Structure 1
Amino acid sequence: MKLLVPVDGSLASFNAVKKSIEIAKLYHFSIKMITVVESTSLSRHNRNERLWRQVDGSIIAGTTRTRGDEELTSELRENAQSLLESITKELDFEGIEVETEVLEGEAYQAILDEAEKGGFDLLVMGNRGFSKIKRFFVGSVTQRVISEAKCPVLVIHTDSEE
């Protein structure tokens, strides 16, 4: 049996990973942790960097350079991979087959696509994302996944304890 666990760095998603470990150890499931680099993230990041230069000991504004999509995507993917690696190092996955992957796209759609493509038996995810603004919408990604997933979804709250 296979668990899919989307993570975004929030406490809720971290708690979801902890719960998935508990389930996997109890029922001998494998775990695949994913994180999604959202395509809309690129438009939210400032693509212009101000280059400063120093003249006669004084710092003055220089030219502006535009960061390309490839550079931003690469940086976001590296950060996402670091997140997955830090979780696998911090928690005890002993005896569990674990796989990690960074996906690109709109978060809810990437999660649903991976769940279906991979034939997962259960999705375990946090009830709300990292952003405080998203908390107002009670986990818009989670809500969409719940309503459209073809497999069961276990939602773990931010304040859940083991």
Structure 2
Amino acid sequence: MQILVALDQSPFAATVLEKAIALAKNQGAALTIMTVAEDFMDIGDYMDTEKVTEKLLADAKAKADAYVEAAKAAGLTANVLVDQGTSPADLIIEQAQKGGFNLIVMGHQGKKGLSRFLIGSVAARVVAHAPCSVLVIR
């Protein structure tokens, strides 16, 4: 079994990672940790976004390294994927398809805290379009 855990840089991501690690250990599954740095290049006509985009990617890479270390501390070796784009949901779905994952684990809301939804917009899109099962952690 292959599990893809999609994490943002929110405080809740640690809880999602903890659940994914426990599940991977229980199932004897391979765990891949994915973070997505948002890319604001599509609004480049209005402002210089290159430095912001670079900073977001560096932050995502640093957080991904910390997530891998947390998995290692829990006794699990994890692969890591860091991607960048304007749609985190599309990148997660694409990675799930390319990687042949059996399960995606993700949080119900990300760092934006869209309280008007019961499930975050990224999670909802992944659930609707993923090629595999999706476990949404609340």
* Aligned residue-pair number: 134
Residues 119/68 of structure 1: CA separation in 2 closer, same or farther (3 Å cut): same
Distance 1:90 1:97, change over 3 A: closer
State the partner residue of 1:154. Answer: 135
SS at match of 2:16: helix
Shift of 1:42: 7.3
Give the TM-score taking structure 1 as reference length. Answer: 0.73
Within a 5 Å distance, the mapping from 1:69-148 to structure 2 comes to 69=50, 71-91=51-71, 92-94=73-75, 96-105=76-85, 106-132=87-113, 134-137=114-117, 138-148=119-129
What are the Cα deviations for residues 28-75 of structure 1, in whole angstroms up to 9, with x where unaligned? 11111111112238749x95xxxxxxxxxxxxxxxxxxx552x33222
Give the CA RMSD over aligned residues. Answer: 2.2
What is the aligned partner in structure 1 of residue 34 from structure 2? 34
- Runs of at least 5 residues in structure 2 that lack an aligned partner in the other structure: none
1:146 and 1:41 map into 2 onto residues whose CA distance is 26
What secondary structure, in the 3-state scheme, does the structure 1 residue paired with 2:100 have?
coil
Unaligned runs of 5+ in 1: 48-66, 158-162
Alpha-carbon distance change, 13 to 42 in structure 1, aligned in 2, over 3 angstroms: farther
Structure number with greater CO (CA < 8 Å, separation at least 6) is: 1
Q: Kindly indicate whether the alpha-carbon contact (under 8 Å) linking 1:12 and 1:127 is maintained by their aligned counterparts in 2.
A: no
Verify the 8 A CA contact 1:42 1:72 in the aligned structure 2: no
TM-score (norm 2): 0.85
SS in 2 for 1:99: strand
Higher share in strand:
1
